[in-house]
Amino acid sequence: MDHKKTEVIIMQIAPPKQLACYIKHYIFLENSKDTVKKLRLFADGNTGLIISSDIHMQDDSDQYLPLSFFYGQPTRYKNLTTKGTFSLLAVVFQPYFFNLLFDVSAKEIKNEILSASDIVKEQLMPFQESLYKKEDPQSIIMALNAYFFQLISKKRNQDSWLIQAQQYMLQNKGALSLKELEHFTGYSERHIERKFEDHIGISPKKYNTILRLHHFLSLMKNNTDYQTMTGISYEAGYFDQSHLIREFKNTIGLTPNQYLKTENKLAVNFIELPYH
């Protein structure tokens, strides 16, 4: 990555194969300049964990967030402001992982930010201290892998079909109908919807919407010529431009053209906005 235009260093690291069905990836982010940054988090169909030892982050209502926190399934974008230097580690969960770990209905924590200490007590303190000491992010992630392995060993997933269904939807990039999902799983539409809301936090229809939008984003990433936007939108399954723009603005808060002009795309669902 070219760091000439930004003082932010970003690393995306995959989990070991044994954890890949629970954790999508890790993201290490470090801001080395004492500046104010306006960030935006939007839905990508996953939940996650943010670990930091020194971040000063506020939400839209100017409330300071915990140093480390879990976030539930986002269905709307959230603006965040940071002040000063910081480093953080984001653990991006597979959509059902939070529910599996903590037996909490994903629907109940949708759009919520939960202090990590309220859920896992002081278990994340060693990782926060490692970040504070500027230890190698790879070594911190190795320790986190061991931590999650230990947590998973105590759990038993009763709904493996749901994981298979979610992966099937992912492979189809949001273009799967509910009838096709019924046929794939052998369960009724109502049963699938109820399980999705309990384990993932949103309906299959909403999950499809998010997947399709991110498929469009991935196509945009490789072709930034706005003249071809219509062709890209058709390829992603949008046959109505107004529908695409409406979904884009509802999810990200920007038009596709505004998004293209955003310089610092920190992750697939995390961008830096111009600070005024």
pLDDT tens across 200-212, in order?
A: 999 999 999 999 9
DSSP 150-216: HHHHT---S-HHHHHHHHHHHHTTT---HHHHHHHH-S-HHHHHHHHHHHTSS-HHHHHHHHHHHHH
Ordered domains of the chain (ranges, CATH)? 8-153 (2.60.120), 160-260 (1.10.10.60)
Average pLDDT (92-107) is 93
CB atoms within 10 A of CB 269: 22
Q: Name the region of 272 (left: φ>0; alpha: ψ -120 to 50; beta: rest).
A: beta
Taking the C-alpha atoms of residue 84 and residue 79, their distance in angstroms, rounded to an integer, is 17
Q: What is the per-residue pLDDT for 2?
A: 41
Q: With bands split at pLDDT 50, 70 and 90, how would you rate the model's confidence at 276?
A: low
Is the predicted pLDDT of residue 225 greater than 80, yes or no? Answer: no
List phi, psi (to 5°) of 176: -95, 130
List phi, psi (to 5°) of 31: -105, 115
Return the higher-pLDDT residue of 261 and 68. 68
- Distance set, CA 176 to CA 162, 170, 201, 212, 227 (Å): 15, 9, 19, 10, 28
Q: What is the per-residue pLDDT for 99?
A: 92
Beta strands in the chain (DSSP E): 8-13, 23-31, 36-41, 48-52, 57-58, 69-71, 78-83, 86-93, 113-115, 265-267, 270-273
**Quick one: what percent of the chain has pLDDT higher than 90?**
78
Taking the C-alpha atoms of residue 240 and residue 134, their distance in angstroms, rounded to an integer, is 48
Q: Which DSSP category does 64 fall into?
A: B
Lowest mean pLDDT among 15-24, 121-130, 157-166, 177-186: 157-166
Cross-strand partners of 83: 36
Q: What is the per-residue pLDDT for 7?
A: 73
Q: Which DSSP category does 227 fall into?
A: G
CB atoms within 10 A of CB 78: 16
Q: With bands split at pLDDT 50, 70 and 90, how would you rate the model's confidence at 222?
A: confident
Helices and strands: H and E segment counts in the chain: 11, 11
Q: What is the per-residue pLDDT for 4?
A: 43
Q: What is the per-residue pLDDT for 191?
A: 96
Judge whether 251 and 43 are in contact, CB under 8 Å. yes
Average pLDDT taken over every residue of the chain:
91
Is the predicted pLDDT of residue 237 greater than 80, yes or no? Answer: yes
Average pLDDT (150-157) is 84
Q: What is the per-residue pLDDT for 247?
A: 94
What is the pTM (predicted TM-score) of this model? 0.91
